[in-house]
Amino acid sequence: MPARLAEVHHAHEEEIEFHTLTNPVEFIGDEDGYLVAMRCIRMELGEPDESGRRRPVPIEGSEFETPVDTVIIAIGNASNKIIADTTPDLEVDARDRIIADLETGQTSKKGVFAGGDVVTGAATVILAMGAGKRAATAINEYLMGEG
Ligand SMILES: Cc1cc2nc3c(=O)[nH]c(=O)nc-3n(C[C@H](O)[C@H](O)[C@H](O)COP(=O)(O)OP(=O)(O)OC[C@H]3O[C@@H](n4cnc5c(N)ncnc54)[C@H](O)[C@@H]3O)c2cc1C
């Protein structure tokens, strides 16, 4: 669980139930398309991978359904692929992170600036705010130059 101990503690305090080693595989709707259940599968820890982390592997035949009416998928920090798919002249790296000048936020596309997690990968609020401030200065200079 990639979270700080204090975060786990607070979640327990708020009576959040953890179902570790459980993976959702399907959302099930009723005849009107409203969500009614989620099918999950139990996992177990397999052999360690190259990083030494034991990868979870599904336990065959362990699927079960649990009733739900709302699901929030809150996993991972990957970039939205829509950027790379819709803006071919905006340079991105192998993980679809926008390539931008770290001092100005200028990207490969004229007049387009970027900063924060979509440039650095998962980082912190303070770093994203810093990038925003530097980009604001650079955008101002860019607009003055254009005018
Ligand atoms: C669980 C968790 C805990 C964290 N805890 C901390 C912490 O304690 N301290 C800390 O400093 N940092 C923490 N972070 C990291 C921090 O949240 C990020 O580094 C920071 O939010 C990055 O800011 P950002 O503006 O770059 O991106 P975001 O905050 O992710 O903002 C990007 C915005 O763009 C929107 N967006 C995406 N695609 C599109 C699109 N196509 N069109 C329009 N809008 C779009 C998104 O909806 C989102 O609102 C945490 C992150 C997570 C996930």
Q: pLDDT (tens digit, 9 = 90+) per residue, 18-63?
A: 999 999 999 999 999 999 999 999 999 999 988 888 989 999 999 9
What are the start-end ranges of the H helices in the chain? 5-13, 82-86, 117-120, 125-146
Percent of the chain having pLDDT more than 90?
78
Cα–Cα dist 77/142, whole Å: 30
Number of domains in the chain: 2
C-alpha angle 40-59-95 in degrees, rounded to nearest 5: 70
pLDDT at position 76 is 73
Beta bridge partners of 45: 56
How would you classify residue 41: left for phi > 0, otherwise alpha for psi between -120 and 50, otherwise beta? beta
Residue 75 lies in a domain: no
Do residues 61 and 17 share a domain? yes
CA atoms of 14 and 49, how far apart (whole Å): 34
Q: Which atom of ligand 1 is nearest to the CA of 123?
A: 19
Report which ligand 1 atom has the smallest distance to the Cα of 82.
41
Ligand 1 center from residue 140 Cα (angstroms) = 24
91 pLDDT above the threshold of 80:
yes
Mean pLDDT of 57-84: 90
Report the amino acid identity of residue 100. Answer: A
Question: Ligand 1 pocket check: which of 7, 82, 124 to mutate, most ligand atoms within 8 Å of Cβ?
Answer: 124
Ligand 1 cavity residues, CB under 6 Å? 77, 80, 82, 116-118, 123-126, 128
CA 124 from chain center: how many Å?
13
The reply to whether 76 falls in a domain is no
Atom of ligand 1 nearest to the CA of 117: 26
- Please tell me whether residues 61 and 87 are part of one structural domain: no
Query: Is the domain of 60 the same as that of 89?
Result: no
Q: Is residue 88 part of a domain?
A: yes
pLDDT for residue 147 = 62
